[in-house]
Structure 1
Amino acid sequence: MTPGAAPVARFRADLSALFAVDRDRLLVAVSGGGDSVALLLLAHAVLGEHCVAATVDHGLRPEAADEAEFVAALCRARGIAHRTLSGALPLRAGGGTNLSSRARALRYALLEEERARVGAAAIATAHHADDQVETLVMRLNRGAGAGGLAGVRSCNGAVVRPLLGWRRAELADLVRACGIEAVQDPTNVDDRFDRARLRKALADVDWLDPAGWQRSAAALADAEDALAFATDRLWHERCSLSEAAVVIDPTGVPFELQRRLGIRALGHLQLGITLRGGEVARLISALQNGRTGMLGDVMATVETAPNAPPRWRFASAPPRRSH
């Protein structure tokens, strides 16, 4: 069976806002779970042969190979081109990158390679309204700023997410109505994972409005874009750059933009620097109070001159003396 006319029309409208449905090929990322199977069914109903699919086997669970074969069989039955992708997980960066982040990096790298191979204009993932709520709550709980609270974006580079206005339950109903029993990922109910615990906690909360959360996330995404634009302007107007140092004129610049300029200066001087939590904010606060600070291999100092406002100098720190 195939999805009904009403959900297909709704999905066509959602996808058309992100993607040229009458022209381009779309690569659909399908894990075998209900959300991604629903995405596959809807995308195929709208795009026909311009819908192709891929499943990433991260090699982390013994069931993953069977789940990939489930998707392959589903695609064969419906005449959808499909490939299973695999590769080595990226190495831990600086000892701080967790397993899920490394798996995500591998997943998107493999999907991007496949997108280029098949000539697709975009990659579609099955993030939906409930995912958006969970993401925002998790990031609020961790003290995220505007960038983090922008949530899951409907379009990010070559990745599109046309289901952000759909609820998890209605996607599950659509899959069942098509006579398909989707894969159940055990990590979705495994209390070792933050998202699984949060999902259980939110299951009985009936006053949340995912559509409202999505509108808020979109507004914050717009605010993040504005901050990024302002930071780029200030980088060219207020910063003097060399290979050895970055000097910033912070006069009259709001704290958040000072923090972003600091992040950019640190990255300019030390490629691949790992910055955690509020450590850049603490560094900026120190500079505002005339104190020296250091992050990674970069030292930040305050330069003063008569009749001139202070400048902040970011430079590679001198080598530490061994004892």
Structure 2
Amino acid sequence: MDTLWPEDEREGPLGLAVSGGPDSLALVLLGAAAFPGSIAVASIDHGLRAEAAEEVALVERVCRELAVPFTSIRVSLGPGNVQARAREARYAALVQWAEAEGLGAVATAHHADDQAETLLMRLARGSGLAGLAGVRAATVMPASETPLIRPLLGFRKPELAAIVAACEITPAFDPSNENPAFDRVRVREHLAAHDWLDPLALAASAGHLAEALRALEWYSQLDWEEMVALEEEAPVPTYRYYANVPRAIQVETVCRIVAALGGQVSRSEAGRAADRLWRGENASLGGVLATAGIEKVEKIGVAMRVWRFRTEPPRKTH
């Protein structure tokens, strides 16, 4: 916790997102021991299962016994992928809760087994570095400046379950955690069947990849500051980019330029556009038109690839 949320940066209690399962109940017990009188708990009912109300009630009872402030939150999900909509609604609700309660940070109970499962799932999907880095140990809440931390990434799931059992608490059981229709459950079963796959080692690898991602983000910030400029003389907002860095950094910079022009693009889409531009072809992505060229940079006297980005003009209709 001293690393994830340094003491001199703490400006409010620590909020804990707790579902009622063994992992999150262990988070409450550990949090109450580490920060007595300085934590608060929220439990969210997504409205997907009838048992959810009982799970929220379980968390409330545990918090009452520990004298920890508790908030129950009910959310509604929009259409689309259920798991994705539930995650979006959950974090949006946690952001509102954190702001309303003046919390200094919010913690979730992701642990080493979660991290190992996430890494294997994303490897199977061919994810890039951002995906393989898994869940970040410390980041910020979506659309917020509130720190989001995961202090249990060094714990195994059985360790957390043992903490809860030692306190004679019976955690909630979510049947979806054993439903093979979900990719994560199948990966979990595979990990359990192959003891040579060490979740702690896999989680450590995800941590190393997260460090590499931070280095990439640091260098892409330099690339943005030194190689991207808004052309003031252009009739429409136009960004000029001298693309002279490895592809992975190009992708980050292209994403940032598109965002600056009001568009939105995934890293895979930005990568395909960067490949086209590198070949000297134009590209269209996220409502932005990118054109490729080569120009001599007077300051250094060297010809470089230069890509220009501007909002794509509206298509003519008849």
- TM-score bracket relative to the smaller structure: 0.7 to 0.9
Match of 2:93 in 1: 110
Match for 2:174 among 185, 190, 212? Answer: 185
What amino acid is the match of 1:183?
A
Matches within 5 A, 1:1-323: 15-19=1-5, 25-89=13-77, 98-157=81-140, 158-241=147-230, 244-251=237-244, 253-271=245-263, 273-275=264-266, 278-305=268-295, 308-323=303-318
Partner SS state of residue 293, structure 2: strand
The one-letter code sitting in structure 1 at the alignment partner of 2:284 is M
C-alpha separation in 1, matches of 2:258 and 2:136: 27
TM-score (norm. length: structure 1): 0.85
Task: Flag as ranges the 4+ runs of structure 1 deviating above 6 A.
Answer: none
In the aligned structure 2, how far is the partner of 1:47 from the partner of 1:308?
58
Q: 8 Å contact 1:26–1:52 — kept in the other structure?
A: yes
What is the alpha-carbon distance in structure 1 between the residues aligned to residue 137 and residue 193 of structure 2? 26
Structure 2: distance between partners of 1:318 and 1:78: 60
Contact 1:133 1:213 in 2 (8 A): yes
Letter in 2 for 1:321: K
Stretches of structure 1 lacking an aligned partner (at least 5 in a row): 1-14
2 CA distance for matches of 1:88 and 1:175?
Answer: 30
Percent identical among aligned pairs is 41
Q: Residues 305 and 25 of structure 1: is their aligned pair in 2 closer, same or farther, counting only changes over 3 Å? A: closer
RMSD: 2.3
Letter in 2 for 1:313: R
* AA partner of residue 74 (structure 1): V
TM-score of the aligned structures, taking structure 2 as reference length: 0.86
In structure 1, what is the equivalent of residue 144 of structure 2? none
How far apart, CA to CA, are the structure 1 residues paired with 2:230 and 2:172?
Answer: 53
Aligned residues: 301
- Amino acid paired to 2:262: Q
Distance 1:19 1:260, change over 3 A: closer
